[in-house]
Every structure is written in C-alpha cells, then in structure tokens.
Amino acid sequence: MAAIYSGIHLKLKSAKTPWEDKLKLARFAWISHQCFLPNKEQVLLDWVSHALTGYYSKKLKFGGEIVEGLWSYLNDVLHSKKMQKLMEKGKIITIRFTIAQIINERISACSSEVPHKIDVSSLPMVLSCCQGILASPPFSIIYTSKSELLVDLLCKLCSLACGRLKSSEALHSAQLFDVLLLVFSQYLITQRQQSNQSRIFQQVCSSLLQPFLLLRHLLSSRCWVDEDEVSVRQHLSREINSKIQVALQTGLFHVDLLNSYREELLQSNDSQGKKPSFSKGLAAPTETILLKLADAAFFSSDLHSTIVSGSVPMLYRLAVESYCKDGNQLLCFHIFARFLDCLRFPKEKSGGDGTSVEWSHWLLALDQLLNLVFSNNIYNVSVDKIRCEGVQFARYSGVAEMLVTYPCPGTAAWFRCLRTLILLNHSIMEPSLDELVSLAWVDAEVEDPRVRRAQEALLSTLLETYTKLRQLPKVFKELLGIICRPAADELRQPILSIGLTGKLRQCLLEVTSSQIVDIWDLILESLEMQIDDLARSSDAALKVLTMSILLHAILFNMKTLDDKAPVPVIRNTQVLMEKMVRAAVVPLLRVGAGVDMGTSLWGVRVRSAGLILSNAWVEVDHMLRLNCVKYVSPAGQAGRAGTDSWNHSCLLPWVGLAEWKAVAQAPVPDGELSRHFLQLLSLQKMKRIMMEPGDKTETDLPSLRATAASVVSSGRAAVGSAGARGWDGELSTLNGETYGVAHWHLLTTNLPLLVPFLLPEEVTYLAEVVITYLLQKSTGEVGQDEGSLLSIPAMCQSLLSSELLPEIQPLHHAILLGLTQRVRGLTAAHSAELPTGLQLARSGPDEEHGGCSNWGLLFSPQDSSLLDAQSIFSTIKVFPLLTLPEERLDLLSQILDLLSTLRLDCLSNADHLQCFLLLVSLITTLKPSCEKSNISKYLQVLDKCYFLLTVLLTGANEKAVFRLAHAGNILEKVLAPLFLMSSELFPSLESPAWSELLHTLHCFLSNFIQKTVERKQSMCLNLEQIITFLSNSWEKAMAKEERKIVAEQLLVVALLTLSCVVRTALQQSEKSRHKSRALSPLLTQLTGLLGSVLQSHFDRGGLDQSFNVPCVTALLEAELCPREEQSDGTGEGRIPDKEGLKHSDLYQSICSQVLQHLAASAHDLEPLQKQLEFLQVFCSSPELCSDHNVKTGIPSILGAVKTMLAAPWMTSPFVRSLDSQLIGLLTCMSERCTDHQFYLLVKSITQGIEVVNLWKGRHPDVVSSLILTTILLKCSSRENTEKTLWFAVPQIITALLALCKKTALDEHLGCKITLLSLEALAVLIQQGEGMLTNPHHVTLAFDALLCIPLDQLKLDDYAGVFQAIHEVLFSIIQSQPKVLFNAAPTFLKCFNRLVLSVVHKGCQKAAGEKGMTMESKVILDCARLVERMYTHIAAKPEEFAMFSAFMVAEYINQLQKVTLNADVKKLLAAGVYHLLDLVTENDLRFLNASLHLGVREVFKELYGDYVRYHKSKRQGEEEYTA
C-alpha cells in the first residue's frame, strides 16, 4: 500500500496538479500512516512554507480560498499532537525564516488604514500560526535567533492592537492580545539573554518605545463596556501593561547603561574632578528618549500631549527604580529635570477662568514626578547646598514660580504639586508665601470635593511645616495681610473648613504659648486697623467678621494657661485680654448698637463680629480664671446679673445696659451668627451666676429662668423647619439653612445646665422636638442624614439612647409622657370604648382631682398615687374592641420602638407604673382585623408590648408593678387577650411575627414568674391562680378548633415556662421542706395540664420537630423532679411511683422519632442539641430506658448516636459544639448501665476503632467510634465503670497507633481520622494522670506522632494536624511527668519535627507570590504553639536541662539554611530564649566550639539578642522576686 502513495511528493511539486488537489494530498499525507515519504513532516512543512512564500512574492498565483487553506494547513500542522510527539521524541524539524517575515508582513497589512480583504479574513489563522511557532522552542528559533524579526513582530502587533483599541466597536480580540502577551514574554526572555545593552537600547528607542507608549495609553484610557472581551478587560490588559514596563525598564534603564547616563548628564558636575570611564557606543540616551517623546508624527495631534504627560512619570519611575541607589540621587535629579523640560508647560493657560485639558495633564504629570522625587529622597537640602551649589533648589524654585504665576485652583494636582514642594523644602515656597496663601487659600474658588480635599491637604501641610519650624505666626501674618487687601470679599470662600480647623487645633497644641500670643496680637492689630476704617464700609465689615471668626477658632483651640505658665506669657495674655476688649469688643458692640440694623448688611456683620469676639473673650476669661491663679481678669468683680435675659453686664461691664438692649433686641435679617452668639453669651451668664460664691440673691433665680427660656425660645421656628439638613460645625457655614441645626446642637449640649430652670411647657417643647423628628426619621419624612454632618434627627437619636438622658429627669419624663400621649392619641376615634388607662391622660390637666389628672397623681410620692394606680388597673377590662388600620399600627410600632430606646429600666416609680399601665391597656384593648397584613402588624405591636413589659420587670422599680395587684391577677390580665383573640390569630400561625411573639412571650413569662417566686409573697396562691387560669383557658379553647390550635401553642409556651421556673425553685429549696411540699403538688398539676395539651397537639401533628422535643423534655423533667426530691428525702436511690410516668407512651414515641431523626440528613445545631438533651433526660429514667424496650434502650440510643456521628456532614466544629450534650448523654448512659452492659458498650466502641475496619472500607464507623472514645474518656463515671474503661486503655492506644500508621501510608483516607485519633490520644493521656501505670503505653503515643508526615499535608489539614500533635505533647508534659523523665529524648524528637516544619514553611516568599495571607496566618499560629511549648519545656529543667544545648543547636542549624519570615522568626526566637535560660557556661563553650563558622555567626546574633532583650528583663524581674 505504501508504494501506491509514493508519488505524492511529485504531485505536490508538479505545476499541473490543481492547488485544491495539492491541499487535499498534503492533508492526506500528514494524517495517513500509509503514505511514505522520506522525512515526511519536514517535506510537508517546507512545501507549505514554499507555497506561501511564492504567493506573497508574486511568483505563484492562486485564489484567496487557497491562501486561507494554506494558512489553515500550516496552523493544523503546528498545533497537531503528532508534531508535539515528534518534538518530544527529539526529532529535528525546522521552519523557514521566510514564514516569520510573511507573518510580520500580514500583521502589518492588517494594521493599515485600509487592509486587504484576504489579509483580514486570514488574520486569525496567521495569529494562530504565530502562536504555534512561538510556543514551540524548535520553531521559535526563527524569531529568537534574529531579534530584528521579533522586534518587528512586537511592533506590528502593538500597532494592530492600538487600532482595535481606538475603534469604538466592542472588543472581541482575545486571540490578538493572547498572542501579543506571548510575544512579549518571548521578547523579554531574549532581551535578558543579550549582552549588548546598547543595541537593545537602540532597538527599543527606534522601534518599540512609541508603540509601547501608545498601547499603554489606550489600554488605560479605554472606556470598557460589558460587550468587550472579559479576559482582555480584566486580565490581559493588566498583564500587557506590566510587560511593557518591564521591557522599557530593561531596555532603557539597564544597569549597564548607567555610565552612559552619567556621561550625558554629569559631565560638568563631577565633584571629584576625575574623568570616569564611560561606556562606548551609546551617546545621549536621555536625549534620544526625549526626541522620541517629542515626535508628534507617530501619535495623532489630539493624543500627543496626553500620551507624553502619562508616559513621562512612568519612565521616570522606571529610571528611579533602576538608578536611585549607591549615591546616584543627583543623576536622578538631572533625569527629572530633562523629563520636566519635555513636558513643555505653556506660558499661559487657555480656557479663561477654567482649566484646559492639556494643562491638567501637564499638572498631573508634574505631580507624579515631584512625588517620585520626594518619596525616593532624591533631594537632600544640605548636599545640594554644599556640593551642588543649590542646583536642585533653583530648579524646584522655578517650578514653584511657574505654579504660582499660572495658578490652577480648579485642579487637585496643582494643590498636590505645591504640597510636595513644601515637603521637599519649605524654603522653595518661602519667597512666594504671600501668593501661595492668596491663591491656594483666601482667594481660591474650590467647589469640587476632591479638589477641596487636596486644598485642605496643602494647607494642613503648610501649617504643620511652619509649626515644626516654630514660625507659625509668619503664616498668619501673611494670611492677615491677604485678608486686609482690597478685594471682592463677597466672592471669597470661608477661611476655615472643618478639616483645616482640626489641623489648626493640632498645630496650636504643639506651638509654645508665646507664639499663640504673637498670633493673637497680630489679629488684634489687623482688627484695630480695620475698625478704624469701618465707617459703613461693607467690605471692611466683612474683613472684620472674617478675622473675628479666625481669632475665635484660635482662642478656642489653643492651650489654656495654667499656674506653670511663664510669668511673661501670663502678663502678655492679660495685656492682650485688655487690648481685645477695649480695642475690638467694645467698639464693635457700640457701633452695632448705634446703627439701624433693619436694612444694613454692614451693621449685621459688625454686630456679628462684636458678639463673636465677646463670646470668645468671655470664654477665655472664664477658663483663665479657673486654671491660672496668677491671672487677674480685666473685668474685675463684675456686678450681679439682672433679671433681663439681654443684660450681659456681668460678663462685659464696659458695655452699658442700653447698648446691650439695643444689640439684643434690634430686628436683624440674616443675623443667625448674632443670635447664635447671643445664646452662647446667655449660657455664659448662667454659668457665671451659678459659680458665684455665697448664697443666691432673690434676682438670681428669675434671671436664670428668664435666660434659659430665652435660649430655648430663640430658635423655635428654625428648629421646626430645619429637617435633616447638615451642619459641619463651622461658624462660616452658619446661615439661615443651618441655624436650626446649630441652635439644636447648642441646646442638646447644654441640657444639664438649661433643664433645671425651664418651665414644664418648655421641657415639653424639647421632648416634642425629639419625638417629632425621630418619628419623621423613621417614616422618611425628613430625608436622610448628610453623612457625618450634624443634623437634628441624628442628635435626637443620640440623645434618646445616651446614658445622660435618665439623669435629666424632667426631660426624660417629658419624652415618656409625650410618647404615651401619642399612643393614646392613636385611639382618639374610640375614646368612649377605651379602658380607663387609655382615657385618663387624654383629659385636660384640670378636669379631675382638683386641677390634676389621674396620671398626675401617679407622679406624687404619696401612697395615694399607688392607690390611684391600683384603681386604674382594676378598671382595665380584658375586652378587645379597638381595631386600628395598618397606618396607625405602623406608627404605634415606631412609638414603641422609641420607648424601648428610652431606658425604661431607669424610670421613677410613677413613670414605671404609668408605662406599665399603658402597655397593659394596649394589650387588653387592641384587636386585629381579618386581613393577614393587619394581623401581622398587630402581632408586631404585641411583641413589642411584651418586650417592654419584660424590660420593666428588670428595671430598678420593678417592685412597683407587683404592688398594683396580685401577681396572678396581673398575669391573667396580660395573657387573657391572647386567648380571647385566638380565633382571629389563627391565619397568622405560619408567619414569622407569630414565632417572634411566642419567643418574647416566653421571656416575659420567665421573668415575671421568676420575680413572683423570688418575692416569696403569696407565692403558692399566685402560682395556683396562674395554673387555674391556664386550665380554664384550655377548657374554653376546646370548644372551637381554630381557637384550640392557637391556645395550644400559647399554653405550651406558658406551661413550659411555668414548669421550668417551678422545677428550678423546687431543686433549689432543699433546705426548705415547707416550700418543697408546697411546690411539688403544683408541679404535678402542671405536668398533668402540660401533658394533655401536648398530647392533643401531637395527635393533630401541630408542632414541628424543633419545637416538640424541648416541650417533651421539659415535661419529662417536670415529671421526674418530684421523684428526685422524694428519693433525696428518703436517702435511697430513685424509687418510681407505683402509678408510673403518666405520659410514658408520649416519651417513647418522641424518643423513637428522635432516634430516626438523628440518622437522617444534615441538621441545624440548635435542634440537634435539644434532641441530645432529651435523650439524656430520657436515659435518666429507668422506667423509660429499660432493657426490655429494644427500640428505645441504651444500645438503640448508642447506635443512633454512632450513625449521626458517622454522617458526612458531621464536621469537627459541629462535634465540638455538641461536646457538652454528648458528654452528658454518655455519662447518663454509663450511670444507668450495669457493669456487664458498660463492658459491652466499651467493647463496641473499641472494636469500632480497630484498623481492620479501614481495610473493610468502614471509614464512617471508625470516625464515629473515635469521637465516642474521646467523649467517653471525658465522662465522669462510677468506680466500677471507670475500672472497666481503663482496663481497655492499652487496646485503645494500640488501635490509635495502628490508625495513625495506616492513614499516614494511605493519603486517600484523608486527614480526618488522623485528627480524631490524635485528639483521642491527647484526652486519654490527659485523663490518665495517675491511671496509666505502664510507661510503655504513653511511649506508644510517640510512635503515633512520629509516623505522621507533616510536609505532605495541604494547608487546610496542616494547621489541624499540627495543633493536634502539639496537644498530645502538651498532655504528656503536663500529665505524665514520670514517663517524661525517662522519655525526654523521644519527646524532643517529636517536638523537633514541629520546629523543623515551621522553619521550612515559614520562609520568606518571593515578591508578588500569591496566597501569602492565609498561609502566613496558619504558619504564625503554628509558630505561636512552638513558642508556647518551648516555654513549657523550659519550665521542666530537671528533665530537659541536659538537652537544651542540643535543641538550640538544632534550631540554629535549620535557621542558617533558610530566610525566615520576620514574624515567624520573632516568635521562634522568643521561645528559644527560654531554652537559653537552661544553657550553662559549659554548654555555651560547647556550642561555640562545635558549630560551623556560618552557624556560629547565627548563634552569636541570637545569643546577643537573648542577652539584650530577654536575659536583662528576666534578671530585672528576679531582682524584685521574693
């Protein structure tokens, strides 16, 4: 057959054979094993290469389909598995260089503006062929051996990719970018292999630099859309960008080119005067790069400036990374200077007041360049001045002059550039400081928040720098000079922002008091000059106001003088206080009082400035009086305050009464600042009156009341209309919109001062504001709070939840009263039918009881208030009539939420009673409608009512509730509505609101009944009454099925709670036989009622598994409790009653269900815990868990538990969560077993952990038996059963050792069995202290530890196994000291495996390696365990002292081989320090003599750190140790 096809080669060469047939023959020849050709693969590859070469060189002519077929054939050959196998076998097959040239030409043709149709259609195949060639090393040699071809290919691919990126169409060119990334990788390898760096530089500059920069710009600036290829957008673009930077750094800034850059840039700056040896063949590399950047022919005109501004910082960063070391900072500066010239900043900005796009790009580039200079410490002030004659300083000064000459305050980069220049050297900006303050601070118009943050950063740096230089007054001198210049002040923005004020506060705390005094004096001088020129000049008035706000900020944020302050500073301060009041405060107030304020904006500003300075002066004067005894106030002993609220003569005696009256009472439009500071002065007046020594006069109290009332009333309208507007706290932003917020902030921060002097009506107003805004906030009527700004809703919420509010009793009471009145207001439509508790407070204050309502009587401390409350409670009838619509229910729910925030546990007796009666009235009055949504909201209201009742029961005055009536009557009245409404509540049984209500009801009943039992007042009578009520409710509910279902659930919750509390009380009443005799019948009565209710519910299947098990558990505990008491009383074992358990069938049925459920699918944790607790109680009863009952006996329970533990969803954390329940169950089972039964139990468990089970594939049985073994070892049992267990311990240890060896050899068994075996081993050794008499049994544990391979484990398993081995070693060192004394070498051998493992895994990772965070966390935890074990070893010097030197040597030898992570090394070294405490002088000499040279150096370093950090500290501690 081979001979038949031997002529194919001739047919392929023949000109007569059609090209279609040639392609078919070539494909057949490639895939057929019957076609024989010598060196067939090479022949066919040469044929297709020759055909393509001939076509593109115009020697051969055929159609486009043939061309595409040839490219497809070449692609199939290059990517075929046959070719790959031949290459792997080492067969030599080559491809012609002309193919590389053709591929480059085709890619270039496709990247042209008008590509040929054939080139476009064949491009995917061309790219695939290129990929196949480069991916195969034998083929890629056609590119790597001729780097020109590879560079040309890279250039062409970049151009093609740029064309695709420029297009507005969706990008679907993942293949193109994959090939480009492959070519980049191949080029970087070739670039690193070449030795002629000058040649590489020329290649990169001439061919690649411009395409790279264009591609980088297009990748970073493209607006990616969802239609673009995901891999290109998310991964390939970043990878290509990274490759571009690596290629440019290696090609342009290689270390071998350093001398060329020095020759170009430093030839006139050689400080040594010696001519260095420069490289040959490369001249002016920087100039070459800059010429390429300046060449606009390659880039389009609209992209040139953008690309240059984006590329220059990147190129400079690469240069700095390569050369900024070994004293090359000056070279890096000169590169910076040349790159800066490349930016070519225009002489003027275009765009008028705005900023041109080109200018913004230049500024952004300059910002990045300056940041690189600063972050890499290129500019050293001293070196530049001494050695370089200030060349850098001159250049940076030129940059600063340019920035100031052409300011651009609308761009964040402009501010950042100025900030970096200040950080470099403040002297750079020193000559232009006044212009800087003017352009960047006073006259800057900044609206964009991002630009504003940059401005604040610049100004903060300016203040901080001059603070460190102790020249802060210089900045303020320039600032005041700018403010006082003639300018359009109306257009100026505020001088201070909240961020800048914070930085000013920090700076003022750092400077000396004398500098603050200088700043103060400067501002006063400027103020004095402006006041002289005031003369109805609105511009001068605004300047005065601006400087007043500035002085206010300085005085309020400076350090207060105390007695330790220097006397000259105190004297100067006193002089300034006098100067301030006489030169500024008094003139401004007098001018403000003497003008017509109704129409004069000038007068408003003057008056505001005067009041700001007045308040600042009073505050400072007050603080100086308190803190500095040497200070003498210029005001002297001012007279007492008058009763008029506007009279502030006691604060500023220089201002007359008439002037104060004129200032305070003049109508002022837009005078929010004036009003705000008048209120602050009023507060200062109140403080001054209250702090006056001696008794208060008759006028003091009226003055305080009048002043407090005026403060509260002055902003009522503004507070009401403020909404959720925000205020940043700055005076400059205080206006008509923010005045309400500022006024409310002033009130809430001074409530302890104001409230004691307010009338009830005014306190009620404050409470109404709080309630109104909080209700509007919850309904969304006031909008959302504006971030971190102050707003009235946020302040009201903070006030309501603060711990200060209960201390302000009048306001606390007013808020409570306002909320209760709103609750009653919701019931206005049915006032005639409401209970007395809801009607009384709606009557007027003088309608009953001689001018005081019944609720008013509740606030009297007399006994009559309690009598009135009792009468009100008695009139509340359980007769639900009121059905509220959903809107009112929502509002009622919100009011109850506010009540829960109000700290009801801090109420007074009267408020406590009022709130309790209100809640009871709501519960007994409300009724749901037939709609499900209404029922759900009704249940939510009830849930909150019961929650609030629970809070009241835990409050300080909970005893007041029990004085209203008997506990039984109270509970009956609270629970009765639920039973009456049971028919209406039936549709909501499946809703979450019903479940939440039952949970809240359980909490309420538990607290209420517990309080009833603890009070010991008619306890039995009350409990009997409660049980009777519940019994009657059950009987009434039996009449109707719907009512019965709801009542059952209510009764189950009530009876369960009641039985639990009574049972607990019965168990705690061992010393009180009378109490036991009284409670036992009640518990029996409860169990009978609870049993019948549960049985009825189970018969219908009404409760789910998660609810019925806790119910039956409680029933069983309640039924067993009297028997336990009886057995404890007789002193004998538990004796069952002759009648037996009343509900034993129910218990057996539930037990069967639980056992079936344990073996089912995955469970939630809480239900599973409840089921195990039921089994524990079930096993404690001999009547239920007997040998005769096969289905619910101990073997059946044990089997179900083993099945549950063997389930695949049973994880180790889940088992740990069930630990206490499993221990309790096994303990109970072991107590119930006979000796023979316990022997069989232990035998079944130990047989489950034998290794034969692994051979048979019973892995789940091994897992469950290991868990049960661990649990059984933790149980406390009788003496006989304990002996039985410990007789089986040798067998258990042997089985555990076999399991560890088997799992170590078999990786597919996983790590779970190993972990469980080690955990069981640790518990066995720990519990075996004093029981394990044979040391051999403990030494077997070492064999188990040594067989576990640590290095082969995955990271997730490694941490668990490491910790388990550590726990075994810790158990041995703590519990088996006798064994440890003889087995110390073996112990150390096991421990050294942990140390070596941590050392090897804790090595420093390579830069950029992924996944370091999780691994480092695990290794750190393991290193912490090693450190702890070192500490335990050092605490046993008798056993380990002789081995300490060898342990240190082992650690040092391993440490010398690797480079440890710093955190890991720190932990391990801290542990080894404890070992070195045991090392003697002879050991040290031995180590120094035996360790090798390199290891010895490591030991010396370690020992030096030990002496410095650990030994000295320990000796210091021993010095003070008795």
SS3 content of the chain, % helix, strand, coil (to 5): 75, 0, 25
**Taking residues 1140-1160, what's their average pLDDT?**
80
pLDDT band at 235 (very low <50, low <70, confident <90, very high): confident
384 close to 425: Cβ distance less than 8 angstroms: no
Give the pLDDT confidence of 198-214 residue by residue, as tens digits. 899 999 999 899 999 99
Per-residue pLDDT, 749: 92
- Torsion sign, CA atoms 1081, 1082, 1083, 1089: positive
157 close to 103: Cβ distance less than 8 angstroms: no
Residue 688 is encoded by which pair of tokens? 């001054």
Residue 314 is encoded by which pair of tokens? 């990147």
Per-residue pLDDT, 906: 80
Per-residue pLDDT, 222: 79
Per-residue pLDDT, 877: 65
Residues 6 or more apart in contact with residue 447 via CB below 8 angstroms: none
1495 close to 1453: Cβ distance less than 8 angstroms: yes
Cα–Cα distance between 825 and 1516 in angstroms, integer? 73
For 503, other C-beta atoms within 10 Å of its C-beta total 20
Crossing angle for the helix pair 1289-1305 and 1335-1346, to the nearest 10 degrees: 10
142 close to 100: Cβ distance less than 8 angstroms: yes
What one-letter code names the amino acid at 317? R
pLDDT band at 1172 (very low <50, low <70, confident <90, very high): confident
Cα–Cα distance between 1372 and 571 in angstroms, integer? 75
Cα–Cα distance between 1372 and 1369 in angstroms, integer? 5
Residues 6 or more apart in contact with residue 736 via CB below 8 angstroms: 670, 672, 718
Per-residue pLDDT, 828: 61
Per-residue pLDDT, 867: 59
882 close to 927: Cβ distance less than 8 angstroms: yes
pLDDT band at 464 (very low <50, low <70, confident <90, very high): very high
Exposed (0-12), middle (13-18) or buried (19+): which is 1151, by Cβ within 10 Å?
A: buried
The larger pLDDT score, comparing residue 472 to residue 1439, is at 472
**Taking residues 1057-1083, what's their average pLDDT?**
73
Residue 1355 exposure: Cα atoms within 13 Å on the Cβ side: 13
Cα–Cα distance between 773 and 155 in angstroms, integer? 67
pLDDT band at 1262 (very low <50, low <70, confident <90, very high): confident
What one-letter code names the amino acid at 1512? S
Per-residue pLDDT, 487: 67
C-alpha 739: how far from its chain's center? 35
The larger pLDDT score, comparing residue 1121 to residue 1149, is at 1149
Grouping H, G, I as helix, E, B as strand and the rest as coil, residue 864 is helix
Give the pLDDT confidence of 1037-1054 residue by residue, as tens digits. 776 676 778 888 888 888
Encode 1164-1213 in three state secondary structure: CHHHHHHHHHHHHHHHCCCCCCCCCCCCCCHHHHHHHHHHHHCCCCCCHH
Per-residue pLDDT, 228: 67
Cα–Cα distance between 528 and 544 in angstroms, integer? 9
Residue 1092 has pLDDT above 50, yes or no: yes
Residue 811 exposure: Cα atoms within 13 Å on the Cβ side: 27
Whole-number average pLDDT of the chain: 81
Cα–Cα distance between 716 and 747 in angstroms, integer? 11
Grouping H, G, I as helix, E, B as strand and the rest as coil, residue 882 is strand
Per-residue pLDDT, 1404: 62
C-alpha 53: how far from its chain's center? 64
Give the pLDDT confidence of 62-71 residue by residue, as tens digits. 777 888 888 8
Per-residue pLDDT, 126: 87
Residue 879 has pLDDT above 70, yes or no: no
Exposed (0-12), middle (13-18) or buried (19+): which is 469, by Cβ within 10 Å?
A: exposed
The larger pLDDT score, comparing residue 965 to residue 640, is at 965
Torsion of CA 130, 131, 135, 141, to 10 degrees: 10
Q: In the chain, what's the furthest Cα-to-Cα distance?
A: 135
C-alpha 657: how far from its chain's center? 58
Cα–Cα distance between 1277 and 402 in angstroms, integer? 89
Q: Which of 50-59, 1021-1030, 1126-1135 has the lowest mean pLDDT?
A: 1126-1135
Per-residue pLDDT, 845: 34
DSSP type of residue 727: B
Percentage of residues in the chain having pLDDT higher than 90: 18
pLDDT band at 988 (very low <50, low <70, confident <90, very high): confident
Per-residue pLDDT, 113: 66
Residue 1142 is encoded by which pair of tokens? 């009343």
Give the pLDDT confidence of 703-728 residue by residue, as tens digits. 888 889 989 988 888 888 877 788 88
Give the pLDDT confidence of 354-391 residue by residue, as tens digits. 456 777 888 999 999 999 999 988 988 888 888 888 89
- Phi then psi for 432, rounded to 5 degrees? -105, 25
Per-residue pLDDT, 640: 52
Residue 138 has pLDDT above 90, yes or no: no
The larger pLDDT score, comparing residue 789 to residue 1003, is at 1003
Q: What is the pTM of this model?
A: 0.77
**Distances 856 to 708, 797, 846, 955, 960 between C-alpha atoms, Å:** 25, 28, 10, 22, 17
Per-residue pLDDT, 857: 29
Per-residue pLDDT, 1169: 83
Q: Which of 219-233, 375-389, 606-620, 834-848 has the lowest mean pLDDT?
A: 834-848
Give the pLDDT confidence of 1381-1437 residue by residue, as tens digits. 778 888 888 888 888 888 888 776 533 344 446 777 888 889 999 999 989 888 888
Cα–Cα distance between 715 and 630 in angstroms, integer? 39
**Taking residues 1092-1097, what's their average pLDDT?**
79
Crossing angle for the helix pair 209-221 and 147-166, to the nearest 10 degrees: 30
Residue 1333 has pLDDT above 80, yes or no: no
Per-residue pLDDT, 1123: 57
**Residue that the structure tokens 């009279």 belong to:** 647
DSSP H helical ranges for 167-196: 174-193
**Residue that the structure tokens 């603070």 belong to:** 467
Per-residue pLDDT, 786: 55
Per-residue pLDDT, 861: 34
What one-letter code names the amino acid at 877? K
Per-residue pLDDT, 595: 60
Give the pLDDT confidence of 597-614 residue by residue, as tens digits. 445 778 788 888 888 998
Cα–Cα distance between 514 and 492 in angstroms, integer? 31
Residue 130 is encoded by which pair of tokens? 């290129």
Give the pLDDT confidence of 1295-1323 residue by residue, as tens digits. 888 888 887 776 666 678 888 888 888 88
**Taking residues 1345-1365, what's their average pLDDT?**
83
The larger pLDDT score, comparing residue 90 to residue 944, is at 944
Residue 1512 has pLDDT above 90, yes or no: no
Cα–Cα distance between 914 and 855 in angstroms, integer? 7
408 close to 355: Cβ distance less than 8 angstroms: yes
Based on its alpha-carbon atoms, the radius of gyration of the chain, rounded to whole angstroms, reads 45
pLDDT band at 1104 (very low <50, low <70, confident <90, very high): low
pLDDT band at 1135 (very low <50, low <70, confident <90, very high): very low
Residue 1503 has pLDDT above 60, yes or no: yes
Percentage of residues in the chain having pLDDT higher than 70: 84
Per-residue pLDDT, 1162: 62
The larger pLDDT score, comparing residue 588 to residue 548, is at 548
Per-residue pLDDT, 1146: 82
pLDDT band at 274 (very low <50, low <70, confident <90, very high): very low
**Taking residues 894-899, what's their average pLDDT?**
91
Grouping H, G, I as helix, E, B as strand and the rest as coil, residue 392 is helix
For 1211, other C-beta atoms within 10 Å of its C-beta total 11
DSSP string, 293-331: HH-TTTS-HHHHHHHHHHHHHHHHHHHHHHHSSTT-HHH
The larger pLDDT score, comparing residue 1496 to residue 753, is at 753
Cα–Cα distance between 729 and 749 in angstroms, integer? 13
pLDDT band at 1241 (very low <50, low <70, confident <90, very high): confident
Per-residue pLDDT, 173: 72
1155 close to 1192: Cβ distance less than 8 angstroms: yes
- Closest of 480, 384, 377, 382 to residue 438, by C-alpha: 480
Residue 436 has pLDDT above 90, yes or no: yes
